Amino acid sequence: MVKNFPLLLSMLLIGNSALIISLTTPLPELLHWVLLIIAAVFNIWSAIGLMLHAWVQKVQMDIENRNY
């Protein structure tokens, strides 16, 4: 799971960047909506992935602690 962590963080960074760009820059309407959709998908996807990553890490730590 650790190998996915940098990907999830980069997705969160790209999603936040797209959101900031779409909200602060005057853009054509179509580009504005495309950036908002990209930001929403990336932010939701990375948030779910980070929550799953944290849960799996916790379960692995609990299993390792029980074995010793």
Tell me what pLDDT residue 10 has: 92
Rounded distance between C-alpha atoms, residue 20 and residue 2, angstroms: 28
Using one digit for the tens of pLDDT, what is the confidence trace for 2-46? 678 888 999 999 999 999 999 999 999 999 999 999 999 999 999
User: Contact, 46 vs 12, CB < 8 A?
Assistant: yes
CA 13 to each of CA 28, 36, 63: distance values in angstroms, whole numbers, following the listed order: 23, 14, 32
